Amino acid sequence: MTDDWSSSEIESVLADACYDEHRDVRPTSDAVARLLALLDDAEQAHRPWAQILRQRLLADGARAACTAFVRRDKRLLVPITKPDGRTAIVSKAAARRLPRVERDETGKIVRRWFQPMLFDEMTAADVAQWVAMESAAAAQRAENAEQVGGILLALLRRHLGSTVLQAVQVEGYESTQAYLLELAAA
């Protein structure tokens, strides 16, 4: 690939791009612009390592872009099965997850899963099931918020003028999570 001399030259160019004259880290957008300008200069000077580095950076950028796209895609899109059996890809915001079960001939549940569906394709039973499931989840979230909020408010009443983190640290905990976990275990 590159010899020791060109590897050290690459390191020097990367350092020049990433750090300013005071050795402070440049903002990423500034560092990228600086690196590309330095690569352009090196290629015009016919430095053999410049094209190699540009190809590596291009490959790394393409890899990062594809990885980010797939992650975003998996978070935002979901396949649904339409009543006619066809599959469609829709946004998760448009789909509603409904619990489904598969039973054997004796009625025993052999598989459970959540099936994404669109409102447009739900039956009355599906809508009723979705409303009940969402209502139960909202009630559970509200109950959890009341419990945690009550605990934190009681803590803050003991330590007036403090933030939650300051109060839990006075109580001897490193974090709010550690404080809440210990209370939940008690």
Q: Which of 18-22, 95-99, 176-180 has the lowest mean pLDDT?
A: 95-99
Per-residue pLDDT, 10: 84
Task: Give the pLDDT band of residue 74 (cuts 50, 70, 90).
Answer: low
Q: Which of 12-21, 121-130, 139-148, 174-183 has the lowest mean pLDDT?
A: 121-130
pLDDT in tens, 94-150: 667 666 777 888 988 887 777 767 777 778 888 888 888 889 888 999 999 999 999
> What average pLDDT does this structure show over 22-33?
91
Which of 46-54's residues contact partners 24+ apart within 8 Å by CB, and which partners? 47/6, 47/9, 48/2, 48/6, 49/2, 49/6, 49/7, 49/9, 49/10, 52/1, 52/2, 52/6, 53/10, 53/13
* Alpha carbon distance 133, 98 (integer Å): 8
Per-residue pLDDT, 6: 62
Q: Which of 1-15, 16-30, 62-76, 96-110 has the highest mean pLDDT?
A: 16-30
Backbone angles phi, psi at 104, to 5 degrees: -85, -175
Averaged pLDDT of the chain: 84
Per-residue pLDDT, 2: 45
